[in-house]
Structure 1
């Protein structure tokens, strides 16, 4: 048997062993996921009803719903999309159509790439220091600004 053929057989065997190990590891991970989701559904499904989604949030310690939280999330998302989408579309269109080779486009593209890779927690801390601390309280506007900062780079990249 030639050296090349034996090397090929050795690599093929090693590949089979590694593929088997990967499948076993993925199976173990999926089994843990199924166990966690099963326990969550088994213990938590009894507490979920239509009232959870339609009642206002009560004072601490009382049972109640999540309507305020759902409404606040929807409002923040709508504001973020209304602010972020036009800015992103305009910036992406400018970069693709008018400023292809300009220095400004190169700088904006670089900053956009940085914002695309920025973790959302960092954006949240930035907006917290910029808006929440000076105002003295949380607000839907601050949350919407953080979401808009996260939306703009995605829209710019998609438009470009």
Structure 2
């Protein structure tokens, strides 16, 4: 791993906290949008970690780069958070279903991950969740940029 991703800076810390908060807010909205009442377990804490990691590695490592760029890397970090979260939880569900012998072979299980990702994306594809990710990503990117410029 390149040292530029590991070396702590004020911008990276701010990005991790901001995108972790955005992830917590988004995870709560996704739980409300789920069609059935089910135990979500560690859904929120794992999403916070994924969001903080996306903020640290994507947004924090690119600051300071200007306020126009902050919109771009803020949205990029939010999209990366969403995709990694969808993949993580779809993979988890696939493993649970594999242990229940739902799939006949490994390839069917791998395809099942992407089918689950598509199903979960359809659940979360509403204006409230996508708007939160878009606007929250831009605001978190601007905050990261502000801290990056002040403490660089």
Same fold (TM over 0.5): no
| Larger-Rg structure | 1
TM-score, normalised to structure 2, is 0.28
TM-score, normalised to structure 1, is 0.27
